[in-house]
Structure formats: C-alpha cells, structure tokens
Structure 1
Amino acid sequence: MSNEIPATQLYLISPLDVSGTFPERLERAISAGPVAAFQFRVKDIEQHEAARLAAPLQEICKAHNVAFVVNDSVALAKRLGADGVHLGQSDGSPKDAREELGREVQIGVTCHGSKHLAMEAGEAGADYVAFGAFFASQTKEAKHYAELEVLEWWSKLFEIPSVAIGGVTPKNCQPLIDAGADFLAVSGAVWNHDEAEAVKAFAQKLNPKS
C-alpha cells in the first residue's frame, strides 16, 4: 500500500438521512480506503437535532483523521467545532464565515460552473472551490452544470484546491482526475451501494499504484 497522498482525494457527502445505522455505515466507508473529508448535509431540521445527529459522525471522523465539514450552516459549524463549513451561493460570504469561525476552519464555496464565482470565492478567502454538477445526480437535482475545462483552467492558474461534484462515480471519474480536480465529492455513488466496496472502487481510480 502506497503511503503517498493521491493527487485527487475522496470527499464524502452524507445522505440526507443520517439516523439509524448510518454511523456504522460511515465507519465502514472511511475504513475501506483513504477519505479526506466528510460533509454533514442534512436539511430542514432544527439545530439541536442536527447537532445530536452530527455528534457520533464527528467522533468517527476524528478517530480516522477525516475532516468533518458542515454544509450550509456557519452557526452549526461553530457549535460543533467542525473542521470546515461548505457554503452555497446563498449561505453568506467566506469572509464573514472566517470572522465567525476563525483562521483554522476550512471554508468551501459552491461555484457551479463559473470561473467568476470561483475567483470571487478565492479573493474572499475560501480554502477550496467546488465546481459542478459534472454529471446527472440521483442525490440532488442539478440546476447548474460545469465543463471539464473549468477544472483544467483552475488547476493551472490557482493554488486553491478544487472539488468536482455531481453524479461522480468510479466509472466516470477519470476525466475529472485528469482535468486536475483535487477532490471528488461523492454521495449516492457510495451510499446507494455497499459503501465499503464503493470507496474501494474509488480508491483504485484515485491511487492506482496502491
């Protein structure tokens, strides 16, 4: 097994339902191969309940040295002491999030397929930018699509890491890796299947020498 960090890493995004046996599934997924980050993405539940659901997942991530990122909510990220927060275009500015959360927290921003939004996010202090969707997704209906060219352009010009998202699977991810994506953000491709086998399949693509 190679100890080298692959050029492109895996970024897991939770399903909307993280109750029941999901903590055991997360443990299996993370144990199956190198995972860089896990995004806690739940909708339409109040913060106290979200914090209760997040607690065991955050512990699992901490035990495996996986970054725990909260989707959308700076307030929840602060409450949990999360490693990061991911902001959509309507979730406030990276600059404000930085003032609220401090210098150590990783801040990511959804930029769709837009070079302009990505440059704005970088100037505002984002630690990574997310482009997509690159493919049709079963998890979330895409309103915006991105072209491979935006990943190639970004990787040549900027140091800030890029995340490719949207319908990414082990079968279709190679062009994203070749285009310079630093992370592949995946959800349904893992949780709609045997999560351990899915992560192993991604690992073979991301680090074929291992």
Structure 2
Amino acid sequence: MIDDPLGPLDPEFAAAFQRDNSRPACQLYLISPLEVGGSFPSRLERALDAGPVAAFQFRVKNLNQHEAARLAEPLQRICADRDVAFIVNDSVSLAKRLGADGVHLGQDDGDPREARAALGPNVQIGVTCHDSRHLAMEAGEAGADYVAFGSFYPTTTKEVKHHPEPVVLSWWSTLFELPCVAIGGITPANALPLVAAGADFIATSGAVWNGDEAAAIRAFSEVLG
C-alpha cells in the first residue's frame, strides 16, 4: 500500500455508505489485451455489439508509435461507429497523433496538466491512483477527468502491488463529483460490490478477452443494469 498522508479509512464509513443514485449508473470501461492484431478487430466489434460499453482503452506495450498507430486505427473506427470513447493508454503523443478521445496516464506517464496542454480541453484524461486518496486528489487538482483505483482483485493482466478496499470508492464518490474507475481482476461475478461501493466505471480486460467476449459483455450488462 502507498503511504497515504490522509491515513487509513474508518471501516465504519463503508458500513454506513449508500450509493448516490443521483450519479449516473455505473458503466463498463473495456481494456484491450496486449495482442490486438489478427482477428481482434472482429472480436472488438462482437463485444461492442453485445451490450453497452462506455469506453475502450487501447493498451499495447513495446511497440513503436508507427506500429501502434497502425493497429489502433481500425479499432478507433470501430469505436467511433458505436459512440464508444477511444482511450489511449500511457502515450500522450500517440493519443494526439490519433486524435483519440482520451488518454490514460499511469503515475510515471506524465502530468495531467502537460497532457491537457498537448491534447486540448475536450480530451478525457484519466490517472491511475492505485490505492491512494492523496494521489487521486492530486490528479483531480491537476485537471484529470477521472481517477482509477485498483487492483481490487487478483489479476494476471499486469503486475500489481496495490490492493485497495472498496471503501475508497465510497469515500471518493461521497466527496467528489469527478468519476472514479475500479480496475483489477473484475468479472461479472465480483463486480457488484464495487458498483455498490460507488464505482462510476468498472474496468475489465481478461474477463472479456479470455473467453467469449460477447457473452462476457452480456453478463456485465446484467450486473450493471
């Protein structure tokens, strides 16, 4: 756990929390697998046609920008045709090159203020905040459009060191209007406690791409209502 200057959350807060129904309903935030070539565009179409998805994050590693852009462009068109926000992971320069709807920044991927200056006022900027309320508040003050907490559950998608409790979502949604994303090992079977805790978006990857993507999206749709 990151040393958070705000200290530990009171567990009684979680017990007393009631989700604010005036906030929009929790939505699905779909993250790509690392391999997005070959038949993946068809799989993405199938997933997005199976149920509501608010955003799709293009997440690839160890590719030069030219190759990443080549892989991203057909996926971006698929998202645009379905009014799904296309978010680029990590790279402000790639997001700018593609004219993406947004960029998601890890703690080592740059300052949201610099991303805003490069991408303009209308691009969505998200920031990974692990299990830290302090980092989330800093991200909000820096102009982020959403903050992401996780990993809530074990995941094989990436190596994780931070495991917040769902109460951090309750705390955030009680005090701030800025949306929060829950991420990390989330499946249709374990998503509901995070929705109840206050998540505005549920981010998922392996639960969709490791099996029948359409069936998984339909299952998430039932949970998110």
TM value normalised by structure 1? 0.95
CA offset at residue 140 of structure 1?
1.3
1:95 partner SS = helix
Whether the 8 Å contact between 1:39 and 1:69 is mirrored in structure 2 is yes
Structure 2 unpaired stretches of 5+ = 1-22
In angstroms, what is the RMSD of aligned CA positions? Answer: 0.9
Pairing 1:47–2:65 present: yes
Structure 1 unpaired stretches of 5+ = none
Query: How many Å separate the matches in 1 of 2:163 and 2:128?
Result: 12
Pairing 1:10–2:28 present: yes
Query: How many Å separate the matches in 2 of 1:143 and 1:39?
Result: 21
1:128 paired residue number = 146
1:196 paired residue number = 214
Counterpart residue type for residue 155 of structure 1 = S
1:39 partner SS = strand
Query: How many Å separate the matches in 2 of 1:107 and 1:118?
Result: 13
Matches within 5 A, 1:99-138: 99-138=117-156
Whether the 8 Å contact between 1:19 and 1:53 is mirrored in structure 2 is yes
CA offset at residue 198 of structure 1?
0.1
2:63 partner SS = coil
1:172 paired residue number = 190
Counterpart of 1:67 (choices 85, 90, 96) is: 85
CA offset at residue 143 of structure 1?
1.5
Whether the 8 Å contact between 1:6 and 1:206 is mirrored in structure 2 is no
Whether the 8 Å contact between 2:24 and 2:200 is mirrored in structure 1 is no
Counterpart residue type for residue 103 of structure 2 = V
Query: How many Å separate the matches in 1 of 2:89 and 2:76?
Result: 13
Query: How many Å separate the matches in 2 of 1:8 and 1:54?
Result: 26
Query: How many Å separate the matches in 1 of 2:164 and 2:95?
Result: 28
Once the two structures are superposed, what CA deviation does each residue of 1:140-166 show, in whole Å capped at 9, x if it has no partner?
121211111100000000000000000
Counterpart residue type for residue 197 of structure 1 = A
Identity score, percent: 71
1:116 partner SS = helix
Query: Which of structure 1's runs of 4+ aligned residues deviate more than 2 A?
Result: none
CA offset at residue 6 of structure 1?
6.2
Point out the structure with max Rg over C-alpha. 2
1:163 paired residue number = 181
2:87 partner SS = strand
Counterpart residue type for residue 184 of structure 2 = G
Matches within 5 A, 1:89-100: 89-100=107-118
Deviates more, 1:135-144 or 1:151-160: 135-144
2:185 partner SS = coil
Counterpart residue type for residue 198 of structure 1 = A
Once the two structures are superposed, what CA deviation does each residue of 1:74-115 show, in whole Å capped at 9, x if it has no partner?
000000000000000000110000000000000000000100
Query: How many Å separate the matches in 2 of 1:71 and 1:156?
Result: 27
How many residue pairs end up in the alignment?
Answer: 203
2:37 partner SS = coil
1:34 partner SS = coil
Whether the 8 Å contact between 2:89 and 2:104 is mirrored in structure 1 is yes
Once the two structures are superposed, what CA deviation does each residue of 1:110-149 show, in whole Å capped at 9, x if it has no partner?
0001000000000000000000000000211212111111
2:4 paired residue number = none
